[in-house]
Amino acid sequence: MFAVSVTPDPPELQRVWDANAAFWDECIGPEGNAFHRVLVAPAQMRLLRLQPGERVLELACGNGQFSREMARVGAIVTASDFSPVFVERARKYAKDAGLNIEHRIADATDESHLLAMGEGGPFDAAVCTMAIHDIAELKPMASALFSLMSASGRFVFSVMHPAFNATNPVFVAETFDEDGDVTTSYALKISGYHDRSPERGTGILGQPEAHWYFPRTLVNLLGPFFKAGWVVDGLEEPAFPAGMGAPERPFSWRNYPAIPPVLAVRMRPLPKLNG
């Protein structure tokens, strides 16, 4: 990763995601990648406990793979992203799958964009899948979602785990020979947590442009939501199960089953006292 001293503005962030969208979509595919299928989607579905007919808003939906999963269990989904290229891909996949999902272009750092999606009434749930670490500012989202949510609403998000996977870990593998018994042990070397600032990096090897990450401590991740009136009432820290078979790369997360690369969180709005 390359540290940058100046946080880029929303048009530049959007330009980079537009430039990467086709490549990301082709790598991830319409059903999501192993991260989504094994770690993220099952955790989010457990935390959401969706009921058919519930209205759900997804922010930063990318190619819409999780939006479609929610629509398939009967949720009424509005899916949004600030990248028109991603939104177009999501729209096409939904149409091809015969799923009725409303797609919108919306910047999650612009409160007015988010509030405009609430014209159909309150949402029962909101979701943000593996994208909060890519979003420059969380206060507008925390505040707008609080206004958009029904009294029984919940906001579920997944993020690269702030302790293990948002701080530029060094993947370590050590091979030992003890009396002819050769084993390899896997570890992570974490060299920072409190001192991270926005930096550019590679999410998928070969992507056209490095994109920006906004690594946050747990306090900085959850703090804007606490201030806006949210409380946490569900958490998961999914890791790949041991024995999934040989991974494609030696430093794949699949070799680190004891360490969770993902944090999934459920939040609920505190009662709105003034109505």
Ligand X SMILES: C[S@@+](CC[C@H](N)C(=O)[O-])C[C@H]1O[C@@H](n2cnc3c(N)ncnc32)[C@H](O)[C@@H]1O
Residue numbers at the binding site for ligand X (CB under 6 A):
13, 17, 28, 60-62, 65, 81-83, 86, 107-109, 129-131, 134-135, 203
Burial of 36 (0-12, 13-18, 19+ CB in 10 A): buried
Minimal distance in Å, beta carbon 127 to ligand X? 9
Residue with tokens 């799923």: 99
Pair type for strands 199-201 and 211-213: antiparallel
Residue nearest to ligand X (CB): 62
Q: 62 vs 169, which CB is nearer to ligand X?
A: 62
Q: Tell me how far, at minimum, the Cβ of 109 lies from ligand X, in Å.
A: 5
Toward ligand X, which CB reaches closer, 39 or 135?
135
- Closest to ligand X by CB, 83 vs 165, is 83
User: At its nearest, how many Å lie between ligand X and the CB of residue 242?
Assistant: 25
Q: For residues 29 and 250, which CB has a smaller minimum distance to ligand X in the complex? A: 29
Q: Which is nearer to ligand X, 20 or 255 (CB)?
A: 20
Minimum Å distance from CB 89 to ligand X?
10
Q: What is the 3-state secondary structure (H, E, C) of the chain?
A: CEECCCCCCHHHHHHHHHHHHHHHHHHHCCCCCHHHHHHHHHHHHHHHCCCCCCEEEEECCCCCHHHHHHHHCCCEEEEEECCHHHHHHHHHHHHHCCCCCEEEECCCCCHHHHHHHHCCCCEEEEEEECCHHHCCCCHHHHHHHHHHEEEEEEEEEEEECCCCCCCCCEEEEEEEEECCEEEEEEEEECCCCCCCCCEEECCCCCCCCCEEECCCCHHHHHHHHHHHCEEEEEEECCCCCCCCCCCCCCCCHHHCCCCCCEEEEEEEECCCCCC
Nearer to ligand X, 65 or 165 (CB): 65
Nearer to ligand X, 17 or 93 (CB): 17
Could you tell me the smallest distance in angstroms from the CB atom of residue 81 to ligand X? 5
**Minimum CB distance to ligand X smaller for 157 or for 186:** 157
In whole angstroms, the minimum distance from the beta carbon of 42 to ligand X comes to 14
| CB 86, min distance to ligand X, A | 5
CB–CB of 177/150 below 8 Å?
no
CB of residue 11 vs ligand X: minimum separation in angstroms?
11
Place of tokens 């680190």: 256
30 neighbors 99 (Cβ within 8 angstroms): no
